[in-house]
Amino acid sequence: MRIYILGICGTFMGGLARLASELGHQVGGCDANMYPPMSTQLHQLGVDLFDGYDPAQIESWNPELIVIGNALSRGNPCVEMVLNRNTRYMSGPQWIYEEVLRERWVVAIAGTHGKTTTASLVCWLLEHAGLEPGFLIGGVPENFGVSARLGSGRFFVIEADEYDTAFFDKRSKFIHYHPDTLVLNNLEYDHADIFDTLDEIKKQFHHLVRIVPGQGQILVNQDDDNLADVIGLGCWSQLQRFSITEKADWTAHAQSEDFSRFDVYDRGEFQGAVESPLIGSFNMANTLAAVAAVSHAGVAAGDACRGVSAFSSVQRRLQLLKTIRGISVYDDFAHHPTAIDQTLTALRQRPGDRRIICVLEPRSNTMLLGGHRHSLARSLDKADRAIVLRPRDARWDLLSIANGKISISDSVPEIVQLLADDARDGDQIVIMSNGSFDNIHQKLIDALSVSD
C-alpha cells in the first residue's frame, strides 16, 4: 500500500513511517520542518520526503491512504484537499492499532513524566530476556539506536501520550492502544492548549483504565495522589501498586545517595539489587515500574534487575554531550517544572559540590501560554544559576521570574557568550528544551573549545 503521512518528521509520525516501511508499505510524507536526525533516518529507509504542505505533492505521489498527524488542523492546504476529495484518511494512533498493535501484547507507559525512559527500560529488559519486542517511543533508546521497530516477538512497547489524536479525533492518543500491561507513572497538569483543567486529564486517564482487559494489569504509582483519584473512578483489571517511599506491591530501597543503586522487592520479598546508569529518585521509580511491567510479561524480576546495568539510557535525557576543561555539557528534554526540578535535584545528589547551570528554552505550548509560570521559578531555583531564553511568541512576561539566580536572555548567541565567559572547571551545564534550541549545544561546545 502507498501511505502518505502528513507531519512525518515528528517523533511519533516518524516512528510510524519506520513501522510502515518494515511492514512493506511504500511510504511518503511531508512536513514544515525537515531536519536531522529524523529526516536522515527517513531518507535511509527510502521514504519520499516533501518539504512544506503543497497538495500537488500528494497528487503526484498518488497515495492509497493518508495518515494525518495531530499537529495539523483545518486550514492546512493538504488537509483541505484530503477532505474536499474524500480521500481515505485516518489518524496515526488508529493506524498503529489496526496495523501493529491488534495482535500483540501491548505494554503501554503513560504519565506526565518518565514515559520515554520507562518505555525504553521496558524495551531493553524484554530484549535482554531474548523476547525481541517491537516498540514506538518518543525518544531514541541508545541500546537500539532507533525510536521504533516492528520486532519479531509477541510484545510491543508504546509510549502512551495523553495529547489529542487528531483534528478530527480529540480523544487522547493512548485510547487507541488497548494495552494488556499499563504503567501509570504520575499525573500533573500539562498541555494547556488541549486541557483547561487537571480534572479533564484525569478523565482521559480514566477512559484509558476502562479499556484495559480484566486479565490485563495496571501498575500505578502509589505515591501520586492524582493517580489515586483516577483509580478511584473505577478499575476492572488486575491492579498492582509501586512505590519508592511507602509499603506497596513493588518497592525500591535506595542504597546510594544518587539513587543509582537500590534493592527491589515484590510484596516484601527481595527480588534483586539494581546497579543503574541513571541517577535520581524519579529514575529509581521509573526503573521499578519497568521491572514490575516486564514481570507481568513473564520476565523474572531478578533477571530484570540484573539487566538494568546494561541499559544505555536515552538520548536527550540528561545526556552528557562533552566535557571541556572540566565543564560538563548535558542535553535534557525537560520542559515541565517538575521534570526540571527532578533533573536538577538528581545532579545535586551526586557526590561533590559542583556548580549547576541550567539553560532553558520554554518551548512547549503550556510554557508559552504561561501555564507553569508560578512553578517555573521554584524549579529553576535548584540550579546555582539559570538562563532562560525569551521566546518571541510567549504569552506572558518572563521577566516576572527573574531574580538573583535566574536571568532572561533574548538570543542563543547571547547565552553562549555568557556561558563561555562565566563557566569554570567543575561546572555542570544542563541545556533543557523539547526542541532543537537553535543548535545551542554544539555552539556552546565550540565556544568552550575555542576558549580552551
Domain ranges of the chain: 2-94, 104-310, 319-450
Closest C-alpha among 13, 259, 213 to residue 105: 213
Give residue 35's pLDDT.
Answer: 66
pLDDT band at 36 (very low <50, low <70, confident <90, very high): low
Alpha helices in 50-197, H assignment, sequence order: 55-61, 77-84, 92-96, 115-128
Which class in CATH covers the domain with range 104-310?
alpha beta
| CATH tag for 2-94 (out of 3.40.50.300, 3.90.1150.10, 2.40.70.10, 3.40.50.720) | 3.40.50.720
Alpha carbon distances (Å) from 32 to 44, 52, 237: 20, 5, 42
Cβ(295)–Cβ(266) below 8 Å: yes
Model confidence pLDDT, tens digit, residues 101-122? 999 999 999 999 889 999 999 9
Alpha carbon distances (Å) from 72 to 13, 32, 62, 66, 167: 12, 10, 20, 13, 7
Cβ(59)–Cβ(35) below 8 Å: no
Grid cell at residue 223: 505515591
Answer whether residue 434 shows pLDDT above 90: no
Architecture per CATH, 319-450: Alpha-Beta Complex (3.90)
Answer whether residue 199 shows pLDDT above 70: yes
Cβ(186)–Cβ(336) below 8 Å: no
Model confidence pLDDT, tens digit, residues 200-259? 999 999 999 999 999 999 999 999 999 999 999 999 999 999 999 989 999 999 999 889
pLDDT band at 452 (very low <50, low <70, confident <90, very high): low
Percentage of residues of the chain with pLDDT beyond 70: 98
Mean per-residue pLDDT for 188-205?
90
Cβ(79)–Cβ(5) below 8 Å: no
Q: Which residues of 406-444 are buried (b: 16+ CB within 10 A; e: fewer)?
A: beebeebeebbebbbeebeeebbbbbbbbeebeebbebb
Answer whether residue 94 shows pLDDT above 70: yes
Grid cell at residue 114: 518518565
Give residue 67's pLDDT.
Answer: 98
The Cα–Cα gap between 65 and 81 comes to: 13
Q: Is the dihedral of CA 246, 251, 255, 261 positive or negative?
A: negative
Model confidence pLDDT, tens digit, residues 135-179? 999 888 889 989 999 999 999 999 999 999 999 999 999 999 999
Q: Does 2-94 match 104-310 in CATH topology?
A: no
Closest C-alpha among 413, 423, 417, 279 to residue 356: 423
